[in-house]
């Protein structure tokens, strides 16, 4: 075929340009580690990669939420265990107490019960790292001078102990009846991470198990210490009071157990969800990197072969451009 000089001279240009642009592209891929430099490079994979990235981002957040939920539950569990221990200790002490004890023994028991009362009240009014009372429901705005469980200790004075005043979110006052907080741990799945102790410590007052001051555990502890300290009472009167206090402690421990079991179950659930989230996220991250990461070995090999063909094209140009009939005339 007849060929024009223009065609002849420019024939190797497209090949050189193509090789050069491919080399530039490959080096960009290798240095960025990304196979697709923009979505148009592979629209289908890019679409999948975007969906995966979004899902991974959501799962990242769920993992953070799960961690937060786990921490809150662990913290609550620690406090509940301490309260449980205090209540159990108090009950154990009372099983050793009876009206027949000498006054010094009774006074010693009274003093120990006073401390347990104080400990229990402090635990019920525990505050988290941000200074919020953890058992005040939604009323986190309460100041440190205004704890949710307010009870004035009468002991060592000899008088009747008053009932506990609770100023947190009252049990049953909201559509979310306990005023407890939940955290989203997965799509459409949330875990309750706090509890309302109103119904545990103070059940008599607000829609709880039974009525009567015996279920108000702070009042009961204060009252039994006063009773043991009171020298004017008969053995029978003391025994009856000890029994009443034991009943109150047992009932409170029962209700406390319910809450502790809930916390344990919630902790299990969070751990379970976390495992699923972790493995799903791993799968998604693997698919994402399969989609988006460049195969460096293949890219480097291709780069070398491109360089070879670029050199060949350049050499071909250099050789053929010298040829001209005019050189021989």
Partner 1 sequence: MASGILGIGISGLNAAQAGIRTTQNNISNVNTAGYHRQETVYSTQPPSFTGAGWFGNGVAIESVQRRYSQFLDNEVLRDQTQLSRHETYATQATQVDKLLSDSNSGLSDSLNAFFNAANEVANDPTSTAARQTLLASGNNLTGRVNNLYDTLQQQVDDGNKAVASLSTQINTSARQIATLNQSIAQLEAQNGQPANDLRDQRDQAVADLNKLVNVNTVQQSTGEFNVFIGSGQALVSGSQANQFNAPVADANDTFNLSPAPLLPQLNVSGAGVTLGSSQISGGELGGWLAERDAVLKPALAGLNRIAVAIGAEVNRVQNGGAYYDSATATMKAGGDFFSSAVAQTGATSSRIGVNFTSNSLANDNYTATYDGTNYTLTRASDGASAVVAAGTEVSLNGVAQGFSLSAGTPAPAAGDSWSLIFRDYAHTMSVQLSNIDQIAAAASTASGPGDNSNARALAALQTTGILDNGGTTFSGAYTQVVSNSAALASEADLNSKAFSSLTAQAKDAQQSVSGVNLDEEAANLIRFQQAYQAAAKAISVANTLFDSILAIVR
Return the residues of window 39-58 that contact partner 1 according to CB under 8 A.
39-44, 46-47, 50-51, 53-54, 57-58
Quick check: 130 binds partner 1 (CB under 8 A)?
yes
Quick check: 287 binds partner 1 (CB under 8 A)?
no
Rounded (10°) CA dihedral 134, 136, 139, 145: -90
Distance between CA atoms of 301 and 310, rounded to whole angstroms?
A: 14
Residue 314 half-sphere exposure toward CB, CA atoms < 13 A: 9
Quick check: 6 binds partner 1 (CB under 8 A)?
yes
Choose between 17 and 115: whose C-beta lies nearer to partner 1: 17
Quick check: 175 binds partner 1 (CB under 8 A)?
yes
Which of 27, 165, 190, 308 is the binder for partner 1 (CB under 8 A)? 190
Quick check: 291 binds partner 1 (CB under 8 A)?
no
Quick check: 60 binds partner 1 (CB under 8 A)?
yes
Inter-residue contact 71 to 270 (CB < 8 Å): no
Choose between 236 and 326: whose C-beta lies nearer to partner 1: 326
Quick check: 136 binds partner 1 (CB under 8 A)?
yes
In 3D, which of 137, 172, 150, 144 has the Cα closest to residue 216?
Answer: 150
Two tokens, residue 18: 């193509």
The length of the chain in residues reads 329
234: left (phi over 0), alpha (psi -120 to 50) or beta: beta
Choose between 54 and 235: whose C-beta lies nearer to partner 1: 54
Distance between CA atoms of 108 and 156, rounded to whole angstroms?
A: 12
In whole angstroms, the minimum distance from the beta carbon of 8 to partner 1 comes to 7
Quick check: 174 binds partner 1 (CB under 8 A)?
yes
- Residue 179 sits at φ, ψ, to 5 deg, of 60, 40
In whole angstroms, the minimum distance from the beta carbon of 212 to partner 1 comes to 29
Distance between CA atoms of 256 and 123, rounded to whole angstroms?
A: 13
Choose between 210 and 325: whose C-beta lies nearer to partner 1: 325
Distance between CA atoms of 179 and 196, rounded to whole angstroms?
A: 7
Q: Which residues are near partner 1 by CB under 8 A?
A: 1-8, 14, 38-44, 46-47, 50-51, 53-54, 57-58, 60-61, 64-65, 68-69, 130, 132, 136-141, 169, 173-176, 179, 181-184, 187-188, 190, 324-326, 329
């Amino acid at each position: 075929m007849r060929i024009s000089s223009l065609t002849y001279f420019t024939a190797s240009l497209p090949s050189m340009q193509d090789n050069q642009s491919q080399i530039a592209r490959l080096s960009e891929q290798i240095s960025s580690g990304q196979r697709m430099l923009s979505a148009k490079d592979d629209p289908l994979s890019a679409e999948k990669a975007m969906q995966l990235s979004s899902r991974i981002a959501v799962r990242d957040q769920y993992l953070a939420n799960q961690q937060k939920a786990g921490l809150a539950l662990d913290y609550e569990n620690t406090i509940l265990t301490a309260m449980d221990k205090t209540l159990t200790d108090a009950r154990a002490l009372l099983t050793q107490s009876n009206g027949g004890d000498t006054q010094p023994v009774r006074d010693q028991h009274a003093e120990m019960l006073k401390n347990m009362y104080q400990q229990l009240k402090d635990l019920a009014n525990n505050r988290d790292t941000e200074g919020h009372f953890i058992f005040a429901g939604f009323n986190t705005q309460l100041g440190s001078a205004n704890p949710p469980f307010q009870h004035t200790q009468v002991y060592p004075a000899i008088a009747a102990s008053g009932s506990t005043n609770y100023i947190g979110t009252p049990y049953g006052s909201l559509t979310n009846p306990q005023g407890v907080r939940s955290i989203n741990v997965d799509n459409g799945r949330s875990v309750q991470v706090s509890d309302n102790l109103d119904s545990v410590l103070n059940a008599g007052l607000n829609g709880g198990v039974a009525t009567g001051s015996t279920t108000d555990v702070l009042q009961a502890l204060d009252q039994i210490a006063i009773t043991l300290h009171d020298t004017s009472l008969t053995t029978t009167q003391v025994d009856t009071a000890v029994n009443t206090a034991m009943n109150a402690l047992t009932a409170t421990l029962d209700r406390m157990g319910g809450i502790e079991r809930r916390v344990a179950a919630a902790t299990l659930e969070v751990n379970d969800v976390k495992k699923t989230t972790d493995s799903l996220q791993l799968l998604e991250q693997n698919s994402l990197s399969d989609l988006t990461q460049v195969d460096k070995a293949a890219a480097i090999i291709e780069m070398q072969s491109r360089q070879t063909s670029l050199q060949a094209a350049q050499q071909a140009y250099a050789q053929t451009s010298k040829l001209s009939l005019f050189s021989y005339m």
